[in-house]
Structure 1
Amino acid sequence: MHTCSCCTAGPRLVVFTGGPGSGKSTLIGRLGLFASEEAGRAIIQDQVAIGGFALPWKDVELFAELMLSHELRSYRLAASREGTVVFDRGVPDIAGYLRLEGRQVPAHVDAAARSFRYHRTVFVAPPWPEIYENDAERKQTPEEAERTYASVSSAYLDYGYELVELPRVPVEERVAFVLRHLRRA
């Protein structure tokens, strides 16, 4: 396992994961902390804009590679900042995504998930059908969102993280819940 100075920032880098449409991005936006953008959404927007093929409905492996590149860059940028940085998904999400799609997790993705470490506590947003909505980038059904939640949660557990499930409550209460946990950590 490699250890570079950027990979030792983990304790102040906090990940939020879960299925799509479960309120992660809205919550992150209300925390008042520096946050990385979600790799998958950014890549989909860019690839659609340029007519690219690195899309989950066109080329799963290429999409995963671009997500990995995006996540590693986001990690390095966050590691150079002071204070807590929150992530709308992290490197282990890519392993979870590949498993969900029935693909093998390549050795380099596994190595990245083992080397680029975040805070040991990962916040996971459970499926929440009452708030789930599709949009230009989110095309999954609620059932696919549930399978995504299960797959990414399993990946984080496999990589040694502890999951804290976010309550299905209004965003202000979720913010208070997260801030309480972060203060204790």
Structure 2
Amino acid sequence: MTKLVVISGCSGGGKSTLLEELSRRGYATVEEPGRRIVREEMAGQGAALPWVAPAAFARRAIAMAFRDQRLAEAQAGWTFFDRGLIDAASALQATTGEAVLETLRDRHRYHQTVFLTPPWPEIYVNDPERRHGFEEAVCEYERLTSAYPEIGYEIVILPKVDVAARADFLLGRLPS
């Protein structure tokens, strides 16, 4: 059984805050590929930004997620990912129509259970790395709630509670 766990869902739904809490508790965590790419692109030429070249951005996120996954496989315990390969592949498929999700059904697997943050307008904020609006974030969430089960993952929707309770909820659903 793999101990690589994806936390996905709606942009601005509290994924990064939850990852910070899990890290504080001693778990290995992996920052979202998209955020890292946006920072790198904004510091340089800015060619692979999601609002400039969405397909290039998604392809770069796929490559980064593959590397993240390979590196995390060496960890002994649970490793929690803020998004990952399936999110990037889903974005590429939505952008280009390429059937990339199906290629991941039996390869490069994460833990069977994927945790999704639901749309939570009360905490949603834009920032320099997240320029899209709440409505677009909800569309992304809806796409992901279909994408994960489509290739054999079970999804668990995280409750809208404080971060400590959210972490307890998540950890309580993983085998010891």
Fold agreement, TM-score > 0.5: yes
Residues 1:78 and 2:69 aligned together: no
Task: Give matches, 1:108-127, under 5 Å.
Answer: 110-112=102-104, 114-127=106-119
Residues 1:142 and 2:168 aligned together: no
Counterpart of 1:164 in 2: which secondary structure? strand
Q: Is the 8 A contact 2:7 2:82 kept in 1?
A: yes
Q: CA deviation at 1:74?
A: 0.2
Alignment correspondent of 1:157:
149
Structure having the larger proportion of residues in helix: 1
TM-score, L = length of structure 1: 0.88
Counterpart of 1:160 in 2: which secondary structure? coil
Q: Is the 8 A contact 1:100 1:148 kept in 2?
A: no
Rounded Cα–Cα distance in structure 2 between residues aligned with 1:126 and 1:99? 21
Q: CA deviation at 1:115?
A: 0.9
Code of the residue aligned with 2:98 in structure 1: it is: V
Q: CA deviation at 1:106?
A: 4.8
Q: Does 171-180 or 71-80 show the bigger shift?
A: 171-180
Alignment correspondent of 1:131:
123
Q: Which of 151, 173, 182 is equivalent to 2:165?
A: 173
Residues 1:89 and 2:83 aligned together: yes
Residues 1:13 and 2:4 aligned together: yes
Counterpart of 1:41 in 2: which secondary structure? helix
Q: Does 90-99 or 26-35 show the bigger shift?
A: 90-99
RMSD: 1.6
**Closer, same or farther in 2 for the Cα pair 1:12/1:152, shift >3 Å?**
same
Report the number of matched residues: 173
Could you give the per-residue CA deviations for residues 60-103 of structure 1, whole angstroms, max 9, x where no partner exists?
A: 111111101100000000011211111111211123223444x2
Rounded Cα–Cα distance in structure 2 between residues aligned with 1:181 and 1:162? 12
Q: CA deviation at 1:164?
A: 0.4
Rounded Cα–Cα distance in structure 2 between residues aligned with 1:88 and 1:110? 21
Q: Does 124-133 or 170-179 show the bigger shift?
A: 170-179
- Name structure 2 gaps, 5 residues minimum: none
Counterpart of 2:98 in 1: which secondary structure? coil
Alignment correspondent of 2:18:
27
Code of the residue aligned with 2:18 in structure 1: it is: L
Q: Does 72-81 or 51-60 show the bigger shift?
A: 51-60
Q: Percent sequence identity over matched residues?
A: 42
